[in-house]
Chains A and B, each alone.
Chain A
């Protein structure tokens, strides 16, 4: 799957829904195909090969970023990182406006993540637990929007943004991505099972209005799913390339845009490009190492439920 779309999308449908009530990471003890079977040596070898393939390009990024271009392109490439990392990063930093790019990426990704969490939790809750006219087809409409690639609307978006005076500004990449259909769907799936009607009832008995219910009942229950959605959204927003590349420019880029520009900039040096790539990847790798378990669980739960 190649999703360069600004909205995180993931499979929506569906294997038969599991019967467990809380859609956290799949329980170790849920029995499925071969779950009870121990992995043999072959499984470990195969996984190690795939794992090696998964990590090699990242390792190569590090090696290339820490050496000179001549070393990287030599007839026998180097296998260990060298000592030029800091120097290359400094050069990349100056050439590609990386300081500003990082700040911009943080601003864009956080704004999008916060907004997505807020709006998608609200909408997901409404679709999961409230009854209202048009609910069915509105939900279908939400899911249908998942299949619309951003390519279809970039031309007018670009003109609109220029008209609004947002051309080249961060607003132009933040606003179109404030919500995500996947987020609505994800929160709905979670809340359907995680939020019992009794809780809502109890709150109503205490005289709480709808908003109070959202604040003091729904949000606490939704928190684990929001964490996951937040991380997935952040990753998507951080890595988004197509629209930001069209909308922003070198004076005011996000990291990915700066990176795209860095590769086209006046530098004969691949090491410096790789240093830039390293800078843009590192923050997310750290997040993955720390929250790996949660993200893996989140992707899996997003996939099964439904």
Chain B
């Protein structure tokens, strides 16, 4: 009979002994049920808002995107949907501009990610020294993170301007002719990558720094006992310990490059930005989606682009999984 003690089994702790004598058994039973309900329901109540909001504004639209991709939906009449089957996918897969934007996205992703992460790694290494005013340095390299995509893109647009741009002026000092950065195939991708690198290097450096500080010191002691130089220590101890973090930042950066939108949109601005330059030389997938759906007003193909992006993401995730496995194996 005494088993009706309220136990709070929601908590990962051993049940407690009853502290007080129950005033009456019926009341005790009633109360116990409530406790139990409380414990059973509360966790779900606490996580419910997340899943509700995500379900309504994340998952549902994600799936609905697939449905829209099979229809003709025009910006001029959002209410009418007309079934067209695979036509939209057909359209985008046979559109050279789509493949241009896939390769642009990929190229810009590489040009922006690789130097960014290398510099971040070096920066983290420097910040890991005992420094005067270390917080100051950390804050300074993080300030670009406080700048919005829009502001950053606009100020860099001014820097990369063909006439009167700061960069052309500086290059002019050492004898280079003016370059029309946004107009070139490589130069425009470099310009966009520079914006990305500028905004995110400091942030990544701090993440590497945190990971470096978590490397147990005994590893270094052991290494230095073995006579390893500082550079060898960095290569043989620091880098391997950071491997998961590095891999992770690569994944995040890849996903990030898939989202590049503000930078290409505002590099030249205007209608050129909306098509990623007059030869689509810096058109990313996000711009392509935006142009199709919001500029040309065809939401069906735009939805198909979104699903194509999903497919690409899954491919990247799979590749990452394989690389991760390979890295783990080779690390053993």
Which of the candidate stretches B95-103, B179-187, B213-221, B275-283 sits at the interface with the other chain? B213-221
Among the listed B9, B65, B141, B261, which residue makes an inter-chain contact with A156, where contact means beta carbons less than 8 Å apart? B65
A: contact size bracket: 35 or more
B253 CB contact (under 8 Å) in A2, A214, A263, A287: A2
**Residues of A with C-beta under 8 A to B313:** 147, 149
Is A80 engaged at the interface, CB distance under 8 Å to the other chain? Answer: no
With A145-B58, A179-B50: A200-B158 Cβ-Cβ less than 8 Å: no
User: In the complex, are the beta carbons of A205 and B166 less than 8 A apart?
Assistant: no
What 1/0 flags go to B186-224 for Cβ under 8 Å of A? 000000000010111111101101111111110010000
Instruction: Write out, one digit per residue, whether chain A residues 270-294 have a CB within 8 A of any chain B CB (1) or not (0).
Output: 1001100110110011011100110
User: 8 Å CB contacts to A: which residues of B39-63?
Assistant: 39-40, 42-44, 46-47, 49-51, 53-54, 56-58, 60-62
Question: Please, which residues of chain A bring their CB within 8 A of the CB of B147?
Answer: 57-58, 239, 281, 284
- Contacting B244 at CB < 8 Å: which of A15, A178, A241? A15
- A281 nearest in chain B by CB position: B151
Asked if B248 and A130 make an inter-chain contact with CB atoms under 8 angstroms apart, the answer reads no
Which residues of B sit under 8 angstroms from A284, Cβ to Cβ? Answer: 146-148
**With A15-B241, A126-B43, A142-B50 in contact, do A155 and B306 touch (Cβ < 8 Å)?**
yes
Chain A interface SS verdict (over half):
helix
B166: which A residues are within 8 A, CB to CB? 60, 77
Q: Within the complex, what minimum Cβ distance (angstroms) separates B103 from chain A?
A: 17
User: Restricting to A1-27, which residues have a CB under 8 Å from any CB of B?
Assistant: 1-5, 9-18, 26
Binding site for A on B (CB under 8 A): 8-13, 16, 19, 35, 38-40, 42-44, 46-47, 49-51, 53-54, 56-58, 60-62, 64-65, 68, 73, 78, 112, 116, 119, 122-123, 125-132, 135, 137-152, 154-159, 161, 163-164, 166, 169, 196, 198-204, 206-207, 209-217, 220, 230, 233-234, 237-238, 241-242, 244-245, 248-249, 251-253, 255-263, 265-266, 269-270, 285-286, 289-290, 293-294, 299, 302-303, 306-307, 309-310, 313, 317
18 pairs, A vs B, C-beta closer than 8 Å: A2-B200, A26-B210, A32-B215, A33-B212, A37-B230, A39-B131, A40-B129, A54-B140, A123-B46, A129-B12, A130-B11, A141-B51, A147-B255, A156-B60, A158-B293, A245-B262, A277-B155, A300-B209
Leading 8 A-B pairs by shortest Cβ distance: A73-B164, A153-B61, A39-B129, A292-B139, A15-B211, A2-B256, A239-B148, A176-B57
